[in-house]
Amino acid sequence: MKQLGLPVLLNAKMQLNNFIGNKNSQILTFINTLFDHNNSSVVMVLGEQSSGKTHLLQGCAVAAMGKQLSALYIDIKQELPEGFIAGLSGADWACIDNIDYLNNTQQQELFDLYNQIKYTQTKLILSAEHLSATLLKDLKTRLSQGVNFTLENLTDTQKITILQSKMTQKNIRIDKKIYAYLFKHYSRDLSELLDVINQLDTVSLQTKGSITIPLIKKTLHK
């Protein structure tokens, strides 16, 4: 595997083959065809929070490395060295998450990168909740000319499937009524649900008990 120095570590469990969403099959099909293309490509992935953008982009990087290609995933929400984005044209796959958080300098770097990869085989995969009105006009124009996809919003059932998969990996069994309670009284945001279940798991280990609704009430309402 060829992996560039990454500001963000990849989660190897975020793979393309376990990316959920029936309506998302179109983007998966398209992404998989890119591995057979020798020319550069730009893909813009739009989606609401917890729609799976990070999973998809990390899955692209994991898949590329599995094919002995140089790849990386970066999250604009994380601190990045100045000039880092503009230097990604040497990567086979560059997956940049949350570009709606680009500052002005980073926007110019991404614009430069877009122009540089025209003459390479780089696959540039970008994500955002939406193309912000604050993006540089020329950059926004370039991105709108690429291949654009919008991810479907996950249903509660799909979220439960993801959560149960995460818990199975940890050998933890949770009754479905726990998820229903969390959806109703805590949040439907998948990232927040994953965080709170990890928190509940830690507390349950400390108390040597199961994850129950009384434990949730006690833990979350301190």
Tens of pLDDT along 49-87?
Answer: 878 899 999 999 999 999 999 999 999 999 898 899 988
pLDDT of residue 147: 92
pLDDT of residue 1: 39
Q: Which residue reads 């927040």 in tokens? A: 192
- Cα separation of 62 and 85, whole Å? 19
The answer to whether domain 2-150 has CATH 3.30.750.24 is no
Q: How far is CA 218 from CA 48, 199, 200, in A?
A: 31, 12, 10
Structure-block tokens of residue 196: 């709170």
Please state the domain extents for the chain. 2-150, 156-220
Residues 91 and 64 sit within 8 Å (Cβ to Cβ): no
pLDDT of residue 68: 95
pLDDT of residue 2: 47
pLDDT of residue 4: 47
pLDDT of residue 49: 84
Tell me, yes or no, if the pTM score tops 0.85.
no
- Cα separation of 208 and 189, whole Å? 28
Structure-block tokens of residue 2: 């060829």
Q: How far is CA 45 from CA 11, 13, 178, in A?
A: 19, 20, 32
pLDDT of residue 8: 61
Among residues 165, 147, 156, the alpha carbon closest in space to that of 18 is found at: 165
Low-confidence ranges of the chain (pLDDT < 50): 1-6
pLDDT of residue 210: 84
- Cα separation of 135 and 139, whole Å? 7
Residues 211 and 195 sit within 8 Å (Cβ to Cβ): no
- Cα separation of 101 and 104, whole Å? 10
- Cα separation of 212 and 95, whole Å? 38
Judged by DSSP in three states, 131 sits in: coil
Residues β-bridged to residue 74: 96
The residue type at 197: I
Phi, psi torsion values for 40, nearest 5 degrees: -75, 155
Max intra-chain CA distance, the chain = 59
Among residues 127, 131, 136, 135, the alpha carbon closest in space to that of 61 is found at: 127
